[in-house]
Copies of this chain bind each other. A is one copy, B any other.
């Protein structure tokens, strides 16, 4: 498999042929006047990348690459605006070098050199940032520090269900190394195949569980972090109240305070019982109320994903007037019937119509005794994994196709949701770009949902970047004004900095700058991210 330098994932998995035709036909029905002419990505040789301004000294030279495709692949993340810029050959800030440490000591050595030489370091895991988090948008020489060679599970504690894992490991390799022990991290972001544990930790990624363990933060026992002033290693603890949590300062620091090299992570036994059911609603307000009832029930479903009617139509191929709620429970220890049964009572109380239950158990195997697979849930899941590839295919055909997410308390959801969708549609209208805005809840809490939005609209080749940036600014203003967070699990990076700066309390910003000055006195670590 060949990793794409300009788009998502593997070149071999890109959308082509019948899938592309089907996609064009489906979107064409919605946007009949759109120009679907496909545009080819430029050849790397035509990118005319700025020549490297720095060379790795002595022993570090063996870790360095100045190969143009390597540098191009490390220039941007994988946001829509990254793909658009890559397709246009717009790469003004390539890293001067890509450095690939093979050990933690290499990381220490690289930071020592960088501090002395005044070279900025952009830590790079899988490079799937969608917020400009790995982009070398800095003056002066800059290196992309690719941690992909730190890819091992080093130790497993079966008793405590935990493992010591290197930060550069990709999702599939991590699960492959845990599977023989009957264990799993169960952290499955959409980027799972191409993102790393260290990236998840540095960005506070959201994962598999819709409730309780929503962020990777909760799966952390301890961290090892190389900072310019030394290695920080926290103690493996299941819980502690000794001062502010050291790990919580590095979680979400996005490479600005140090380079995460290892973590002890909390694992799960592989689930043996799973039950899934999709619930249809006539009215969206009722669907939201039902979802809130489940979120506040203490039942802790592993999945509790509400798709609004447009999301169901666009991304699951399902028709509904009020929304589809995908509910799932799973356990390695016990049947989950009592849990699902009660959740279905709750949704029925709000007018929900549950479909067939699909159950898996050690006795009955998959598709067990309680009925057939719900079509909506399966279709959505499969679509979920193809979405980034399809995003690339439609971007090449001049569509706007991007997502963003937030979270808010339940009392504010209706107002925030109206403000966001109205802002998005308003900007699309101003731009003369017909399209749709979709919404799903990816995670839910007792005190509020995390809504995730998609914007799919007819763009114009050559103007895609400013068009999207206007949509993004509009919806971000709505989020800032109506009590949401600028990001629930996509991180801040460089792109969210203006709104993050308004959301973050000023004294906390001052404290974070104080911490940054103490750990990274020369300011070499991911300058510009988090406004640091």
Please report which residues of chain A, range 217-236, place their CB below 8 angstroms from some CB of chain B when the two chains form the complex. Answer: 221, 225, 227, 229-236
A244 touches B238 (CB 8 A): no
B508 touches A234 (CB 8 A): yes
29 sampled A-B residue pairs with Cβ under 8 A: A157-B410, A159-B411, A160-B410, A204-B241, A221-B447, A229-B507, A232-B505, A232-B506, A233-B505, A234-B508, A235-B503, A236-B483, A237-B408, A238-B408, A239-B443, A240-B487, A240-B488, A241-B487, A242-B492, A243-B512, A246-B508, A258-B507, A266-B446, A333-B342, A338-B339, A511-B514, A514-B514, A514-B518, A514-B519
What is the distance, in angstroms, from A451's C-beta to the closest C-beta of chain B? 11
Q: Does A23 contact B (CB under 8 A)?
A: no
Q: Does A496 contact B (CB under 8 A)?
A: yes
* With contact pairs A242-B500, A243-B530, A253-B243 given, residues A407 and B237 touching in the complex (Cβ less than 8 Å): yes
Q: Does A298 contact B (CB under 8 A)?
A: yes
- Count of chain A residues with a beta carbon within 8 Å of a chain B beta carbon: 99
**Chain B positions within 8 Å of A257 at CB level:** 511
Q: Which of B239, B248, B331, B411 contacts A245 (CB 8 A)?
A: B248
B485 touches A159 (CB 8 A): no
Q: Does A144 contact B (CB under 8 A)?
A: no
What is the distance, in angstroms, from A82's C-beta to the closest C-beta of chain B? 19
What is the distance, in angstroms, from A252's C-beta to the closest C-beta of chain B? 4
How many subunits of this chain does the assembly comprise?
Answer: 2
Which of the listed residues A160, A251, A338 has the most CB atoms from chain B within 10 Å of its own CB? A160
**Chain B positions within 8 Å of A516 at CB level:** 514
B237 touches A244 (CB 8 A): no
Q: Complex formed: what's the CA distance from A230 to B342 in Å?
A: 48
Q: Which of B242, B297, B411, B513 contacts A485 (CB 8 A)?
A: B242
Q: Does A299 contact B (CB under 8 A)?
A: yes
Q: Mark A449-481, 1 if CB is under 8 A from B, else 0.
A: 110000000000000000000000000000000
**Chain B positions within 8 Å of A249 at CB level:** 244, 248-249, 508, 511
Q: Complex formed: what's the CA distance from A241 to B493 in Å?
A: 11
**Nearest-CB residue, chain B, relative to A206:** B241
A157 touches B232 (CB 8 A): no
Q: Which of B157, B232, B292 contacts A507 (CB 8 A)?
A: B232
**Chain B positions within 8 Å of A332 at CB level:** 298
What is the distance, in angstroms, from A143's C-beta to the closest C-beta of chain B? 21
Please report which residues of chain A, range 318-338, place their CB below 8 angstroms from some CB of chain B when the two chains form the complex. Answer: 331-334, 338
**Nearest-CB residue, chain B, relative to A295:** B238
B242 touches A251 (CB 8 A): no
B161 touches A446 (CB 8 A): yes
**Chain B positions within 8 Å of A346 at CB level:** 333
* With contact pairs A237-B407, A409-B238, A446-B238 given, residues A511 and B505 touching in the complex (Cβ less than 8 Å): no
Q: Does A269 contact B (CB under 8 A)?
A: yes
* With contact pairs A161-B447, A299-B333 given, residues A505 and B246 touching in the complex (Cβ less than 8 Å): yes
* With contact pairs A252-B245, A507-B258 given, residues A407 and B240 touching in the complex (Cβ less than 8 Å): yes
Q: Complex formed: what's the CA distance from A106 to B530 in Å?
A: 33
What is the distance, in angstroms, from A530's C-beta to the closest C-beta of chain B? 5
Q: Mark A52-71, 1 if CB is under 8 A from B, else 0.
A: 00000000000000000000
B161 touches A235 (CB 8 A): no
Q: Does A436 contact B (CB under 8 A)?
A: no
Q: Does A115 contact B (CB under 8 A)?
A: no
Q: Which of B245, B254, B269, B334 contacts A243 (CB 8 A)?
A: B254
Q: Does A391 contact B (CB under 8 A)?
A: no
B507 touches A447 (CB 8 A): no
A517 touches B519 (CB 8 A): no
B409 touches A157 (CB 8 A): yes
Q: Does A122 contact B (CB under 8 A)?
A: no
Q: Complex formed: what's the CA distance from A55 to B508 in Å?
A: 32
**Chain B positions within 8 Å of A76 at CB level:** none
Q: Does A296 contact B (CB under 8 A)?
A: yes
The 8 closest A-B pairs by CB, nearest first: A514-B518, A238-B448, A238-B445, A514-B514, A511-B515, A204-B241, A338-B338, A232-B507
Q: Does A399 contact B (CB under 8 A)?
A: no
**Chain B positions within 8 Å of A204 at CB level:** 241
**Chain B positions within 8 Å of A519 at CB level:** 507, 510-511, 514
B296 touches A238 (CB 8 A): no
Q: Which of B238, B448, B505, B515 contacts A449 (CB 8 A)?
A: B238
Q: Which of B234, B269, B296, B484 contacts A269 (CB 8 A)?
A: B296
**Nearest-CB residue, chain B, relative to A253:** B244
B409 touches A243 (CB 8 A): no
